[in-house]
Amino acid sequence: MPAPFLHCWHADLAAEYPAWGPAEASLSEAERARQARFRTGALRQTYGRAHGFLRAVLGRYLDTAAAAVAFAAGAPRSKPALPLSAGLDFNLSYRAGRALLAVANCCAVGADVETLLPMTDALALVQDLFSGPEQAALRATASGAAWEALFYTIWTRKEAYAKALGMGLSLPFAGFSVLEAEAGRLVAPAGAYLASFAAGPGHQGALAALGAPAGLEPAHFNYPADL
């Protein structure tokens, strides 16, 4: 059996790589149709590059052409998946300018990337979706950069965990914590592994793995340099 792995791929969607042409050309007919529905050229480019990146990386693991990567029909909830025979779980997250892709052969994974921008609705999100310990830690943190850094760290970890479960925002976010109540230390819900990291300039990233072997740490790669 192959050794277990947990990989996180990073892509700068704003960089003008020659690889973007072949990557976007690999999109399926359905993906092209969805891409065409976006209102602006910037949004269409972000979608096309993110999904071309997804196909290029998965094609490497599957030893197949990017355009030939087939996704499972009727995947549970809203999380896309490969056929069971592939033996891989993956999750893609992207924002304008940045994408993260988690891939593993031993566990369910989730990824989240967020652009570090001031949020006018951050307090409402905290009140509605953060647990008691998380809210207390934010109240104890000075306003400004330190508060925003902690907010985004908590938020991306919660998003990644929910995506690993295949539930997204349907998961009761206030019902679990990624912080210890007393120490304010980052933790993971039982049975989960969570990692936080800078995902390029101006972006915060997080990776979640459910049931990963003890001691397994994620390896990080950059697209297209490491492909």
> Is the preceding omega at residue 224 within 30 degrees of 0, hence cis?
yes
The per-residue pLDDT for 29 is 97
For residue 23, with 0-12 CB atoms within 10 Å meaning exposed, 13-18 middle and 19 or more buried, which class applies? buried
Map out the domains of the chain with their CATH numbers. 6-223 (3.90.470.20)
Residues 114 and 43: their CA atoms lie apart, in Å, by 16
Amino acid at 227: L
> Does position 1 have pLDDT exceeding 80, yes or no?
no
> Does position 38 have pLDDT exceeding 60, yes or no?
yes
* Residues 158-175, mean pLDDT to the nearest whole number: 90
60-108: pLDDT as tens digits: 999 999 999 999 865 555 688 999 899 999 999 999 999 999 999 999 9
The per-residue pLDDT for 123 is 87
Q: Assign 149 a pLDDT band (cuts: 50, 70, 90).
A: very high
Residue-averaged pLDDT of the chain: 93
Q: Is 94 helix (H, G, I), strand (E, B) or coil?
A: strand
Q: Is 130 helix (H, G, I), strand (E, B) or coil?
A: coil
* Residues 11-35, mean pLDDT to the nearest whole number: 97
> Does position 122 have pLDDT exceeding 90, yes or no?
no
189-198: pLDDT as tens digits: 988 999 999 9
Contacts of 28 (CB under 8 A, 6+ apart): 67
- Are 189 and 172 within 8 A, CB to CB? no
